[in-house]
Amino acid sequence: MDATSLTGVLDLSNTQVTNIGMNAFRRSGLTGVILPKILKNIGEEEKDN
């Protein structure tokens, strides 16, 4: 499955996703994304602490 087959709204609210890459949904057919409360970064490199 590639990103072009994703359509509609993607609900990530009940996931353990903490980072989403800059181009994660590029060229997808998504019209929206529901983000989880634990999300830390969008479009940034994950940094080690």
Identify whether the C-beta of residue 4 lies closer than 8 Å to the C-beta of residue 29. Answer: yes
CA 11, 29, 25, 4 dihedral sign is positive
pLDDT of residue 4: 78
pLDDT of residue 34: 97
CA distances from 24 to 6, 18, 49 (A): 11, 13, 23
pLDDT of residue 47: 61
Domain regions of the chain by residue span: 3-42
Q: What is the 3-state secondary structure (H, E, C) of the chain?
A: CCHHHCEEEEECCCCCCCEECCCCCCCCEEEEEECCCCCCEECCCCCCC
Tens digit of pLDDT for each residue in 1-49?
577 788 999 999 999 999 999 989 988 999 999 999 999 999 876 566 5
